[in-house]
Amino acid sequence: MSRPIRFTFILGLAALATVLAAAGGWRFARASAPLSGPIIVVSIDTLRADHLPAYGYAGVKTPAIDALAADGVVFERAYAHAPQTLPAHAAMLTGRLPFEIGVRDNVGFSVKSSERTLAQMLRDRGYATGAVVSTFALRKETGIAQGFDFFDGEMPAQALPGTVGRLKRDGQASEAIAEHWLQSIGSSRALLFLHIDEPHRPYALPERFADLPEYDASIAYSDEIVGRLVKYLKSHQLYDRSTIVLLSDHGEGLGDHGEQEHGLLLYDEAVRVPLIIKQESNAGAGRRAAAVVQHVDLVPTILELVKTSIPGNLRGRSLKPLLDGTGVLPAKPVYSEALYGRYQFGWSEIAAITDLRYRYLRGAREELYDLQRDPREQHNLADDPAAAAPLRALRAEAKRLAGAAKATEPSDEISADARERLQALGYLGGASFAEQDAAADARPDPREKVATLERYRAAMRLAGERRWHEAITALQRIAADEPELPGLWSQAAGFAARIDRHDLAVDAFRHYVALRPSAPEGYLGAASGLLKLRKLEEARTQAMRAVEVTPDADKRSTVAAHELLARIAVSRRDAEAAREEAGLAHDADPRLPMPSFVAARLAYDQGHFEDALPLFEQALEEQKKGGAPLADLHYYAADTYARLDRESESEAQYLAELRDFPYHLRARAGLATLYHVTDRSDAAAAAIAEMTDVVPTPEAYALAARLWMLVGNRLQAEAVRAEMRERFSDVSRTGAASRE
């Protein structure tokens, strides 16, 4: 063949190869094209699989979830890795186990910025990413928002001004926000994560579900919300193109093993969750999968569905072979952990390994259950020779993970507001709630402490209803039976201070000190209560003791102790000591404007308001540097402005004090008085009425009665006094109970 012909032939072959390669690539691209519609993950908090009709339950109707199950694949044995909201969702959205990502509890942990979430992986792939959550436990500060272009975790405003903010949002409102986001992005290439919280206590359900038990009613309402979302998708021609994942973060005890709620135990009712996946064009509709699957399988499954690479550090596996019916997955046991009892009460942690037939529980003692023959886990086989083989195998798996899964200590960097809200959810006992340094084998078995936990949660419900006296009494009784839980006394003291029973608070902190003499918290709490009672020498002694026992590394307690000593010195008219202690507090935390605040207070107490004002203003400016709000700063600035006839500035400072310290009774009285003297009678009446709603104490009622008299409403004053007599007739009995 001549050279020109040969050259032409080679060029022709190259062109043909290019065409064939392009055609092959086009066919491959079509065959492996990523999903054309949105990916929607709906997480229904605290939903047990065995309380859904799709899993055989007959106690409630869920037509929307039933229809979704008919169009999708139902996974009959899906499991969570933790019976708590934050660690379960963190595992779900990262594809890694709780101990790998370092999120072990709802309190004191957050998703690190170095972790890559499903949202980040899909955003890199060109997806719009949005999330709407319905619980404070998944607030943005937990790191769960990483990778979402849009994240809405704002809970509704509190029911009463100055009370603890709402802990959850109605799922219907969250679903409406999700619809609006889908409408706004102008693309179907999107990931939506929608979390609804209806099955989680405290329940807040429409009256139309009143004929059902509360838990089942919450499921019926959740189904209604899912139905709204499906209706939206269908009306916008998105449903058939959508990939929808419906699942739960964990279950609910409902008393099956004594625990009514969740967090402490790892039996089936707590960790078995629903998992339904409806694929694009309803592929695989009606199929049921009996394989054991887990939360961490979600990320690799979705990544394979969108035809992108799966990171090698993921713990889970893609479920696509089960979705397509094209294969099976090799058996793999599921790891779960419960550290709520460990972190909040100092009890033993529990780990579980679940395979196709057995569940092994490792904690203060071993348990083994045959889930096929004993699905309610009533017969422990750990000592049964016939079960020795599965016991050895699952024990070995647990031992293999034990080193990596060793409990890590939570951070105590949490705001007072967050601490209070989480406490109301039953997630937080408070700082130093229980002894944390006991040897692992010396920790109490949480399975033997279920009754204590239930009593504690009942006390928290009383507090959530602002039945403070009853909550205090309940905590005192538990503390008498559980001396290893000193934090019960500090929590009772906090509730006592809330209702101005500083005598009860001081007594409770003395119990705390007796149990934890080397911890500064008890001395600080006692000193604060004694200062309120004007027992200044005793207060100073307790605060000095706090200084003595506080480790150098504990800057927060150091600051608190010197701040308290400065306030005590101001009350003792000891200017030199007040300035010295203020300087020490400022040295420990330069963001704290104690020196200028103390200087202002000294001038204020002498009646030198013109001299005090610029010092208060200096302190206000310094506080803008950050750090915790300084109690009374805005209040004294407000009062000083009022004395100098600068009413608008006074009002702003009163409102700022109440924003940071909503239970500040003097600030509420000052604001009401300011409204009265500036002829805003409606605002004054509202402020007075609000006092007893927000601070329902005898002192608040008495002060409100005096203010009603001040504004000339004698009838309202008498009504408040009558209500006070009726409401607080048991106060003396509460005091007697504490002494007993």
pLDDT in tens, 534-562: 999 999 999 999 999 999 999 999 999 99
pLDDT(456) > 50? yes
Residues 6+ apart with CB under 8 A from 561: 520, 523, 524, 527, 543, 546, 547, 550
- The amino acid at residue 670 is G
Residue type, position 28, single letter: F
DSSP one-letter code for 136: G
Q: Is 65 contained in some domain?
A: yes
How far apart are alpha carbons 34 and 411 in whole angstroms?
Answer: 41
Taking residues 110-138, what's their average pLDDT?
96
Q: Tell me phi and psi for residue 449, to 5 degrees.
A: -115, 15
**Final residue before a domain boundary, out of 311, 330, 349:** 330
Domain span holding position 688: 662-740
Average pLDDT, the chain: 89
Among 314, 330, 346, residue at a domain's last position: 330
Closest Cα to residue 229, out of 38, 34, 36, 35? 38
Query: What does the pLDDT look like over 335-344, one tens digit per residue?
Result: 999 999 998 8
Assess if residue 712 is contained within a domain: yes
Q: Residue 738's pLDDT is what? A: 40
Residues 577-630 have pLDDT tens digits of 999 999 999 999 999 999 999 999 999 999 999 999 999 999 999 999 887 899
- Return the CATH number at 179: 3.40.720.10
> What average pLDDT score do residues 573-580 get?
97
Interhelix angle 555-571/575-588, rounded to 10 degrees, is 160
Helix 681-694 and helix 698-710, axial crossing angle in degrees, nearest 10: 170
Residues 6+ apart with CB under 8 A from 664: 631, 632, 635, 657, 658
Whether 419 is in a domain gets the answer: no
User: Residue 6 — pLDDT band, cuts 50, 70, 90?
Assistant: very low
Q: Position 547: which residue type?
A: V
173-185 average pLDDT score: 97
**Is residue 58 over pLDDT 60?**
yes
How confident is the model over 484-532, as pLDDT tens digits? 899 899 999 999 988 889 999 999 999 999 999 999 999 999 999 999 9
In-domain check, residue 200: yes
pLDDT in tens, 193-248: 999 999 999 898 999 999 999 999 999 999 999 999 999 999 999 999 999 999 99
Q: List the Cα angle 185/121/170 in 5-degree steps.
A: 55
DSSP alpha helix (H) spans, 236-293: 268-271
Tokens standing for residue 654 = 């009163």
Q: Where are the beta strands (DSSP E) in 509-653?
A: none
pLDDT over 90 percentage in the chain: 76
Instruction: Please give the pLDDT value at position 431.
Output: 42
> What is the pLDDT at residue 5?
44
**For 406-433, what is the mean pLDDT?**
64
For the segment 38-54, the average pLDDT, to the nearest whole number, is 98
Q: For residue 502, tell me if it sits in a domain.
A: no
Higher pLDDT, 158 or 737: 158
Q: Is the predicted pLDDT of residue 9 greater than 70, yes or no?
A: no
**Among the listed residues 168, 108, 166, 105, the one whose alpha carbon sits nearest the alpha carbon of residue 132:** 168
- The whole-number average pLDDT for the span 286-315 is 96
User: Last residue of some domain: 304, 330, 356?
Assistant: 330
pLDDT at 433: 55
Question: Has residue 283 been placed in a domain?
Answer: yes
- Alpha helices for 406-467 (secondary structure H): 416-424, 450-464
Specify whether the CB–CB gap between 47 and 273 falls below 8 A: yes
Nearest to 275 by CA among 98, 83, 47, 34: 47
Flag whether pLDDT at 12 surpasses 80: no
pLDDT at 163: 43
- Structural domain includes residue 737: yes
| Residue-level pLDDT at 10 | 37
Position 29 pLDDT exceeds 60: no
* pLDDT at 447 exceeding the cut of 80: yes
Query: Domain for residue 543, yes or no?
Result: no
User: What is the domain count for the chain?
Assistant: 2
pLDDT reported for residue 731: 52
Query: What confidence tier does 327 reach under pLDDT thresholds 50, 70, 90?
Result: confident
